[in-house]
């Protein structure tokens, strides 16, 4: 079975609720004929407004983080059940910015991922290496560690999406070449099949998450191992994001 492409926008800490609605309104007609899954992962406070704005369109609603506990004394956190009740279908977990600035670890990424799956959300789990690690020839070692730790306990990998995000290419304007991205994602898929054999790994989708944009999306998406993109800055402009979504045109 062919893997259906998925293009997800990560708005990060951008757009008030009113700005979010305007962006979705501009985006909807531009992606109405999309041949891929289209997701916008929005700040938590924008979720209610965006839920209404995407209604009746091909755009699906995503969040940018989720806590691993069902409830409790976790001030400022949001549970999977809370997201689910608001119509959220996808949630980004383990983004490099969460790891760098907010103390995310492989252990907490794994706990959040399991909590999301249990609640019926589709986690978009981010893995990838730093520039120092890539230049030091440690890319595969880093990915091996993340693959073993971040995905422990998952029984059906068709229920998750992986975003390979080379940290050195996020928000820097630098992008892995089409071939580099394809090679690394191919390695991730091969390693996953070895470590998690018999758990539907063949149906798992892997995105590229390192500065994919309107100019480079077509080339990246032409690569056989790349199933989509986790889009940062380019997702904040309707025309640019639509160009990525409509990569096949």
Q: Which residues does the annotation mark as catalytic?
A: 95, 165
Q: Which two tokens stand for residue 20?
A: 């979010």
109, 125 in Cβ contact below 8 A?
A: yes
Q: Closest by alpha carbon to 143, among 135, 152, 134?
A: 134
Q: For residue 108, what are the contacts with CB-CB under 8 A and spacing of at least 6?
A: 68
Give the distance from CA 213 to its chain's centroid.
Answer: 15
Q: What is the DSSP string of 25-70?
A: HHHGGGSTT-SSEEEEE--GGGHHHHHHHHTTSSEEEEES---SSS
Total number of residues shown for the chain:
249
């Amino acid at each position: 079975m062919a893997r259906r492409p998925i293009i997800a926008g990560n708005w990060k800490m951008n757009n008030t609720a009113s700005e979010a609605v305007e962006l979705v309104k501009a985006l909807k007609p531009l992606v109405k004929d999309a041949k891929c899954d289209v997701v916008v992962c929005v700040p938590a406070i924008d979720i209610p407004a965006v839920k209404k704005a995407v209604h009746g369109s091909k755009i699906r609603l995503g969040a940018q983080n989720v806590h691993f506990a069902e409830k409790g004394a976790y001030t400022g956190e949001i549970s999977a059940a809370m997201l689910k009740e608001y119509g959220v279908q996808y949630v980004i977990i383990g983004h490099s910015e969460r790891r760098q600035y907010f103390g995310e670890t492989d252990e907490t990424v794994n706990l959040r991922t399991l909590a999301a799956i249990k609640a019926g959300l589709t986690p978009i789990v981010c893995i990838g290496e730093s520039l120092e690690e890539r230049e030091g020839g440690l890319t595969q070692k880093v990915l091996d560690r993340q693959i073993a730790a971040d995905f422990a306990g998952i029984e059906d990998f068709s229920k998750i999406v992986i975003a390979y995000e080379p940290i050195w290419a996020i928000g820097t304007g630098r992008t892995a070449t089409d071939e580099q991205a394809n090679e690394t994602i191919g390695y991730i898929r091969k390693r996953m099949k070895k470590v998690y054999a018999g758990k539907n790994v063949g149906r798992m989708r892997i995105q590229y998450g390192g500065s994919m944009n309107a100019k480079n999306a077509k080339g990246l998406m032409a690569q056989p191992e790349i199933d989509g993109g986790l889009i940062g800055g380019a997702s904040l402009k309707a025309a640019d994001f639509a160009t990525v979504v409509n990569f096949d045109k």
